[in-house]
Amino acid sequence: LCSHRHVRKPADPGADGQALCAGWLAARAAGGHRAEPCLLVHLGQVCGTRIVPCPCGCCPPERESMKFTVAIDGPAAAGKGTISKAVAAHFGFAHLDTGLLYRAVGAKVLGGANAVDAAEMLMPADLEAGNLRTAEVAEAASKVAAIPEVRRALVEFQQSFARRSGGAVLDGRDIGTVICPEAEVKLFVTATPEVRAQRRLLELQASGSETTFDEVLADVLARDARDAGRTDAPMKVAEDAVLIDTSEMEIADAVDAALAEVERRRDLA
Ligand code: C5P
């Protein structure tokens, strides 16, 4: 199914009638010294095969399956969701909002389920539930997220998502520290609690909620304390993470900073 066989015949790509690989051609046009992900789409997914030309520029390019993980952590409403989606769209990587896993478990607990059972039996369809973005579910999520067995039940899914071919962006609280300590890129996106509360207030008001700034700030602070204070996988900045403080930044500038960091690491990889 993969039309990369042409890469084995780089002296004359396309001669056997197969599609040319955009990444290989771009690498060749750039002098054969850059590694590029192949952007061909197979079965609806960007191939992501890494085309690594020999530094001398005259040898056949080698290919290797590209596993490239971008870990984006940070507290609620700091902008990591927007940044993660933008990074994934820009590079053609898959994106997983890991908060949804905990929210889905939290929603089930609100419905009467046992937290550990809910985490162990979580199905992809559970992530589509309509109520996952509410403040009530967010609070339930941060409570179940402090239970070690719940976290353990969700590790494998996140790690296999991170290792998928073609690149992956995962955002959460412990991605760079626990789930993917080997991630090629680690970002920690943050902002002051007041700025985050103000952003969340506007979102909640836009969806018809009649809450106040003080209530939202109290929720933000309580969630931060719970997420940073738990013993198992607390939210913290990984030692090798790049910090992006969005308190006084336009979101477009924060996205640009993230894209630049990923680009830099991709060129080094
Ligand atoms: O990111 P989001 O606000 O949707 O996450 C909801 C809650 O899920 C967080 O407050 C946190 O307690 C928990 N969470 C976590 N680890 C992650 C992602 C989310 O503990 N990787």
Please spell the DSSP secondary structure of 44-55, one letter per residue. TEE---EEE--T
**pLDDT at 209 (0 to 100):** 84
Instruction: Write the residue with the smallest CA distance to atom 13 of ligand 1.
Output: 142
Q: Output the pLDDT for position 268.
A: 76
Helix (H) / strand (E) containing 170: strand 168-172
Nearest-CA residue for atom 16 of ligand 1: 173
Alpha carbons 48 and 19: distance in angstroms, whole number? 15
Residue nearest to atom 21 of ligand 1 (CA): 172
Q: Which two tokens stand for residue 107?
A: 């929603």
Strand partners, 42: 45
Q: Of the residues 101, 155, 173, which should be mutated to test ligand 1's pocket, given the most ligand atoms within 8 Å of the CB?
A: 173
The identity of residue 258, as a single letter, is: A
pLDDT the model gives residue 178: 97
> What's the gap between Cα 21 and its chain centre?
26
Nearest Cα to Cα of residue 45 among 179, 184, 219, 161: 161
CA of 235 from ligand 1 middle (Å) equals 9
Contact 176, 241 (CB under 8 A): yes
Answer whether 223 contacts ligand 1 (Cβ < 6 A). Answer: yes
Does the beta carbon of 172 lie inside 6 Å of ligand 1? yes
Query: Based on the number of CB atoms within 10 Å of its own CB, is 268 exposed (0-12), middle (13-18) or buried (19 or more)?
Result: exposed
Handedness of CA 218, 252, 84, 267 (dihedral sign): negative
> Distance (Å, rounded) from C-alpha 98 to C-alpha 74?
12
Tens-of-pLDDT digits for all 269 residues of the chain? Answer: 233 333 333 334 444 333 444 545 554 555 443 444 555 444 444 555 554 443 434 334 444 446 899 999 999 999 999 999 999 999 889 999 999 999 999 999 999 999 999 999 998 889 888 899 888 999 999 999 999 999 999 999 999 899 887 889 999 999 999 999 999 999 999 999 999 999 999 988 998 888 999 999 999 999 999 999 999 999 999 999 999 999 999 999 999 999 999 999 987 76
Residue 95's H or E segment, with its range, is strand 94-97
C-alpha distance across the termini of the chain, in Å? 27
The verdict on the CB of residue 241 being under 6 Å from ligand 1 is no
**pTM score, two decimals?**
0.78
pLDDT at 37: 53
